[in-house]
Amino acid sequence: MTPLLLASFTAVSAVGRGLAATLAALEEQRSGLAYCAFETVEIQTHIGEVPGVDATPLPQRLRSFNCRNNRLAQLGLLQDGFAEAVARSAAHWGARRVGVFLGTSTSGILETELAYRARATATGALPSDFNYAATHNSFSVADFVRQTLQLEGPAAVVCTACSSSAKAFASAQRMISAGVIDAAVVGGVDSLCLTTLYGFHSLQLTSRTPCRPFDVARDGISIGEAAAFALLERPPPRLDDDAILLLGTGESSDAYHMSSPHPEGRGARASIQQALLAAGLSPGDIDYINLHGTATPSNDSAEDLAVTSIFGTGTACSSTKGATGHALGAAGALEAVICALAIQQGLLPGGLRTTAVDPKLNLHYLCETRRGNIRRALSNSFGFGGANCSLIFGRPS
């Protein structure tokens, strides 16, 4: 595929607001996970909550979109001059030539969960001020971002559970390749809600302790939340040496089970291979892999098999979910931004909370952050329903 320029990128997660705070947390190996005290949730687990989301106001003209997910989106758009970069892009290409492709898994469903507690006793009706379209519906976040940034190009939300926002990069890439648009705001926004906290708990997939990806004693995920954005553009004829590019995308389906990965990582392997093929790269060209690495026993062992079958045991890998938690529908975009940051800063983030790597897992798992030249990085995202996506980022060759 033709590489695309990441003209701007940013992220907000439990480890901080914006790139500088995210980088500092990765360098200092600081985790944003804390014991769950979200809303009225009574589950013994740790979560990656973003502080200050509820204090983030929305623009007055878009106040109908008010919900935690869109406030988190707004917090993301305000970081690192992202909204200003999009405005320049829209001025250059035209507002109709800039698309919006975002991933989420639960959007603003928290509003519906709260509305169900406030149903009218006599009729069972939801409160009159509850706005389904602008909060609960998955598209709400893309509609909000599109209107905030005053864009008029195509827009959609990708909703493939935990690979949603990685696949948003692939959708946008195809739209730009086909010439439908010249640039796109891509990313993911997912926020804490009761459905995912109680849902993953019902599947016995949440850990009591902060999650420990690839650890011998790993026992589940820590749910997080994040807003992460990138501005993808058709690259100019001459690129700066320090430009960061989206080089390849790969997607596959497990066709195996709704909530368990294929045990040999069949779909994961296919998505990684397709991303390498699309980028025209061989496994040895990848310097760092940001793993899906959820810290469930089954995910990490399936991913280990997929990665080692392609890369062997030498390529440096880590999961950053011990720092940020699992941001679900925003995880793909958050980890894409972490890969871009890793390439830009020459930093290989160590996986936090992992003290004893499972001896049955063979990939080269980094437990300590270290400095090193990264020309190309791969990010894996795998979702419920067996929806897999791998993205490759790198410097111009």
Partner 1 sequence: MAAVIPLTAYIEGIGVLGPGLADWPSAAAVLADAVPYLAAATILPAPLSLPPAERRRTGGVVKLALAIGFEATTRARVEPSTLATVFTSSGGDGSNCHEICQVLASSERQLSPTRFHNSVHNVAAGYWSIAASATAAANVLCAYDASFGAGLLEALTQVVVERAPVLLLAYDTQYPEPLRAKRPIPDAFGVAFVLAPEARARALAKLTAALTDGGAERMSEPQLEAMRACIPAARSLPLLRQLAQARGGRVILDYLPHARLALEVEPCS
Q: Which residues bind partner 1 (CB under 8 A)?
A: 42, 96, 105, 109, 112-113, 116-117, 119, 123-126, 130-133, 137-140, 142-143, 152-161, 167, 170-171, 174-175, 177-180, 182, 194-195, 198-203, 234, 251-259, 266-267, 270, 383-387
60 versus 123: smaller Cβ distance to partner 1: 123
Q: Would you call 364 a catalytic residue per the annotation?
A: no
Query: 162: helix, coil or strand?
Result: helix
137 versus 298: smaller Cβ distance to partner 1: 137
d(CA 16, CA 51): 9
Question: Which one is catalytic: 36, 67, 159, 162?
Answer: 162
Q: Smallest distance from the beta carbon of 381 to partner 1, in angstroms?
A: 13
d(CA 228, CA 159): 15
Q: Would you call 326 a catalytic residue per the annotation?
A: yes
119 phi-psi bin (left φ>0, alpha ψ -120 to 50, beta other): beta
Q: In angstroms, how far is the first alpha carbon of the chain from the final one?
A: 14
Q: Would you call 389 a catalytic residue per the annotation?
A: no
How is 24-46 classified by DSSP, letter by letter?
Answer: HHHHHT----EE---TT---S-E
Q: Smallest distance from the beta carbon of 374 to partner 1, in angstroms?
A: 27
Q: What sign does the dihedral 201-207-210-214 (CA atoms) show? A: negative
Question: Which one is catalytic: 46, 136, 262, 292?
Answer: 292
Beta strands in the chain, from DSSP E residues, in sequence order: 4-13, 16-17, 34-35, 46-48, 98-103, 155-158, 183-190, 223-224, 226-233, 245-253, 288-290, 316-318, 347-348, 364-365, 370-371, 376-383, 387-394
d(CA 2, CA 13): 30
Nearest CA to 355 among 216, 220, 221? 216
Q: Tell me if 143 sits within 8 A of 134, measured CB to CB.
A: yes
For residue 29, how many other CB atoms are within 10 A of its CB? Answer: 16
Q: What sign does the dihedral 190-191-197-199 (CA atoms) show? A: negative
d(CA 274, CA 252): 9
- Judging by DSSP bridges, how do beta strands 98-103 and 155-158 pair with one another? parallel
140 versus 320: smaller Cβ distance to partner 1: 140
Q: Smallest distance from the beta carbon of 154 to partner 1, in angstroms?
A: 6
155 versus 378: smaller Cβ distance to partner 1: 155
Q: Smallest distance from the beta carbon of 85 to partner 1, in angstroms?
A: 20
Q: Smallest distance from the beta carbon of 69 to partner 1, in angstroms?
A: 13
Question: Which one is catalytic: 262, 326, 339, 389?
Answer: 326
79 versus 381: smaller Cβ distance to partner 1: 381
Q: Smallest distance from the beta carbon of 346 to partner 1, in angstroms?
A: 32
Provide the CA 332 distance to its chain's centre, in angstroms. 3
Q: Smallest distance from the beta carbon of 30 to partner 1, in angstroms?
A: 31
155 versus 306: smaller Cβ distance to partner 1: 155
24 versus 120: smaller Cβ distance to partner 1: 120
User: Which residues are tagged catalytic?
Assistant: 162, 292, 326
